[in-house]
Structure formats: structure tokens, C-alpha cells
Amino acid sequence: MTESATLASLSRALGPKYEVRRLIGSGGFAEVYEVWDKDLERRLAVKVLRPDVAWTSGMIERFQRETRAAARLEHPNILPIHFVGEGEGLVYYAMPFVDGMSLGELLKRSGALPPERALAIIIPILDALDHAHKAGLVHRDIKPDNIMLDVARGRPLLVDFGIARRLDSKAGPGLTQTGLVIGTPHYMSPEQALGDPNLGPASDLYSLGAVLFQMVTGAPPFDGDSSQQIVGKHIADPPPAASDVNAKVPRELSDVILRLLQKQPKDRFHSAAEVIGALESDKQPSTVRSRASAAAAATELLVSGATTKSTRRHVGAAARPRRLGWVLLVIALPLLALGAGALFFRQPTLVFENKLNDMVTVQVAGEERRILPGGSFTLKVDRARRLDVSWQLVPRLGVPLGDTIALPRPRGTVRVAATASPRHGAYFAPVITNETGQSLSIIVNAGLAGSTRCGCTIPPGAQRMMIGYYPLYQNSTVRAEANDRSATFQNLGAQANATTGIVGLLFRTGDLH
């Protein structure tokens, strides 16, 4: 079934009270659509089991049963499930639409996170996991892409409990099977890799340890040339110490991660709550000391990555004389007031940067400007008025790309950038080097819906030739053709730079078959 056919079927299944707007994501087993709830005037994300997968009736029944069980979870850091449905040959469930990004996207953009920021994200997720485990559910697919960062509310969210399995023995034999998802190789526990049908909470803790390792080092604990090789390392290889990979990781935090990554479930922590206790120890980075402070810190850390100091006073710390404190306070308050006043009355400044690989036009405050790649401009703006900043790529090849950012009552310095990841999707810019000795024609996203010929020829000897921007998916492709032979780069979603969109591709002699 094509994307348009699935969209039409989902519209009929949901009925007239819902408007199915667009496909926003696709994975191996499901697709996610943005849907508008007309009655309640809210955006939803509806996850649909892919109709082109050979689902059995038993698998669909188990999926629905487990999703309904997950829908009973109530925790501020678990993305809730509004309803589960079936119709027009589709099986689906609806969730709130989250404005933000996944932890996976954040790690692709920023690499390793400071320990304080990593803890501000992971402790609320552990609390959510503890809640789920106590309710008898194990997630089985903990990974960065299943942790969403809700920037609007400053909280991380654990998602995709629709593929969870009940832990209680009364769930019935149908629920003790491996189920629909076998996990993701980079984050899979050894027992999951070995096909254990009775996974427990310890499997989730192992996966979370692999995620935390990547958060503080920039890479998962095990990697390889194939899924089989990665899985084999999870089963047999001793886990590396995060502090050995990144010297900035405190040894105490590295030790917690090592315990999470033990091969035997009995050698790991006994619960997510126990992990939280270890991470809240005075020996850990000081930004996050408790679940309450973790939630507060996450609001700032998710958005800006800034760190804050813990206000906990350790036992035995010497108290400063109160009189000196009052004197300093009397002196500081007028200075702070003056500073705050100056900040309030200062005229706001807009800073616009073009981080794309081509020229953009910018429309703001009734003006239009053309900004070269890497260029920027600064503009004083009126704080009392809403400011709309619109930019458009000036494409010679490829597809149009642009965005509009609304800034109600701007304050201080506001930075806006043209990037390859505007709010409505991601794009990439293939840069081609041709060492085949032949002229090449290029098809972008060959084999996918939206396949596009670039309308260009890459001459022999071309070095890093730009061919424009194109929609980016996890499985995006670029195919080069010459004289009935071709060569294809696949799965470019993880390789493209999230800011510039650039991905360099080298076609050499012998690549064409």
C-alpha cells in the first residue's frame, strides 16, 4: 500500500472528526501520521502498523492487547496513548503530538552530552520505567529514538510502550512470546539477543545503560559492520568503561553504567529506582540530586544545555556568617535591579544565520535579503510587535526548502538559522565526487516514494559537486547511472549533517554494476 493509499484508508478509519494531515515518520514495523482532532482542536500522532508487513491475526491481537495495557500507564514522563483502533485494514493507536525532537536526533547534532545534562534527561526516564515495571510492563525497545524531548514543556518522554509485554504470570501464554519487536541491536540486552521469551525489567535496564553510555561518550558501547556482529559483542564482549572512552565522564557515573551493562541480569541493578538512587548519590555530577531537581533541571537542560548548580548543602558544610550575607544582599539587590531594567529596556536584536550550502532569501520586517552560505545579518527589532521571519532556499537544483518562524514580542538577542531541519521535515544535500571516468546521472531517493532525478550530469573528475537539497528519510538513497549500469548509496538518514544537510558521496571506478 502506498503512502497516499494508507493516508486515505486511515482517514476513512478515523472518520470525519479527524483530519489526517501527513506522514511524519516511518520505521520497520509502523508509520506515524500527524492527525488533527477537530472536536478537541488538538494535534495527534497516530501510529499505524505497516500494511505491507505480513501480520498474523495472533500478532495483531497481541499488539492491541499490549497497547491497551500500556494505555493505562499514567506518568508525566510516559507519552500517553489516547485510543487504539482498527479499520480499513489498518491497526493503529493515537498519542499526543510532541513538539520537540528525539534523543537520537539530539545526539546526532551534539554528540556526547555533559554528564549533568545526560542525568537531567535520564533520571525522569528511569522514574517512568520504574512506574511501568511496577505496573507489570517491560518496554523491550529502549533506545534514543524512543526518548522524546518535549521542548515546549521541558521534559523527556518515554514512547512506544505499544510494543511492551506484560510481566505478570496471569497474562496468558500468548503474551510470553517474543512479540512484534526484537529490539535494536546497539541497545539489545544479551538475553534479548539470545531470544529469551521471558524478558524482565533487567533487560530494559541494560538497554538504558547502553543509551546512557552513548549520551556521555557519543557512541553506543558496541558497534560493528552488521547487526549480527553487534549482537555478538553484546553477548560475549566485556563492556567498555565510559570514563575510558571519554575522560570527562566521572568514574562514579561510569561505574553505574558498567553495572547496568553486566551480561547476567542478576549482576545489574535490581530496579530502575535503585539506579536512580545510585545516580542521585553525592558522588555523581552535582546538577541533578533528586527526581524533583531532575525534572526542574530538565526544563533548562533540554532546551539550552546550560548547567545549574545544586543548592543542596552537604552535612558538615560551614555556614557563612549571616550578617555578611545580609550586607552582600543589600549591595547586590540594587545592582540586580539596574541590570534587569537595562535588559528589559534594551532593544531586541535578531541574528539570522544561513547554515545551508546554498543562498537563501530572508523576509523580515518588510525587508528581503539574500544571504550567502555561512553568512548572517543582525537587525534591531520592535519588542512590542510580533515578528515573522521567513526564509527560502534559492535552488538551482533539487526541491524548494524554507520555513517561517514566529517570534511574539521578542526579547534580548534572538537567533534564527536556516538549516536542513526546518519544522516541517528534514532535507539533505548530496555532494558528489565522480572518479568513475564516466558521466553520471543522479536519482535521489531511488526506489522510494518521491524519487527525483536531479536533472544534472556529473562529469568525470567532478569534485564535491552540489546537486541541491532533497527530502531526507532514514532510508534515503542516491543512485548514479551510466550506460545501463548503476551504483547506489543507501540509508543516508544517519549520515547527513543535521544542520547543513551535506553528505559527501564518492563514486569510483568499479562501483558501477
In a domain, 453, yes or no: yes
Q: Output 272 or 409, whichever has higher pLDDT.
A: 272
Statement to judge: residues 265 and 242 lie in one domain: yes
Most confident of 27-36, 419-428, 462-471: 419-428
Statement to judge: residues 231 and 299 lie in one domain: yes
Reported as a single tens digit per residue, the pLDDT across 362-394 is 998 888 888 867 778 888 877 767 888 999 987
Pairing of β 367-371 and β 360-364: antiparallel
Statement to judge: residues 125 and 184 lie in one domain: yes
* Percent of the chain at pLDDT exceeding 90: 38
Statement to judge: residues 44 and 124 lie in one domain: no
CATH number at residue 146: 1.10.510.10
Statement to judge: residues 144 and 210 lie in one domain: yes
In a domain, 403, yes or no: yes
Question: Across-strand partners of 377?
Answer: 352
Q: Output 204 or 55, whichever has higher pLDDT.
A: 204
In a domain, 318, yes or no: no
* pLDDT, position 155: 86
In a domain, 321, yes or no: no
Statement to judge: residues 237 and 109 lie in one domain: yes
Question: Across-strand partners of 31?
Answer: 26, 48
CATH number at residue 441: 2.60.40
Statement to judge: residues 229 and 366 lie in one domain: no
Statement to judge: residues 185 and 285 lie in one domain: yes
To the query of whether residue 52 is one of the catalytic residues in this protein, the response is no
Residue 408 binned pLDDT confidence (cut-offs 50, 70, 90): confident
In a domain, 324, yes or no: no
- Please state the pTM of the whole predicted model: 0.56
Give the domain range for residue 435.
Answer: 427-508
Per DSSP, 287 falls in state T
Q: Output 397 or 265, whichever has higher pLDDT.
A: 265
Q: What is the DSSP string of 156-218?
A: EEE--GGG-EE-SGGG-GGGGS--S----GGG--HHHHTT-SS--HHHHHHHHHHHHHHHHHS
* pLDDT, position 163: 56
Reported as a single tens digit per residue, the pLDDT across 422-448 is 988 899 999 998 889 889 999 999 988
Statement to judge: residues 29 and 87 lie in one domain: yes
Residue 55 grid coordinates: 501480520
Residue 318 binned pLDDT confidence (cut-offs 50, 70, 90): very low
In a domain, 342, yes or no: no
Select which of 130, 141, 358, 403 is catalytic. Answer: 141
Statement to judge: residues 113 and 128 lie in one domain: yes
Residue 193 binned pLDDT confidence (cut-offs 50, 70, 90): confident
Segment 88-114 mean pLDDT = 88
Q: Is the pLDDT of residue 321 over 50?
A: no
* pLDDT, position 292: 45
Statement to judge: residues 290 and 161 lie in one domain: yes
Statement to judge: residues 446 and 395 lie in one domain: no
- How many folded domains does the chain comprise? 4
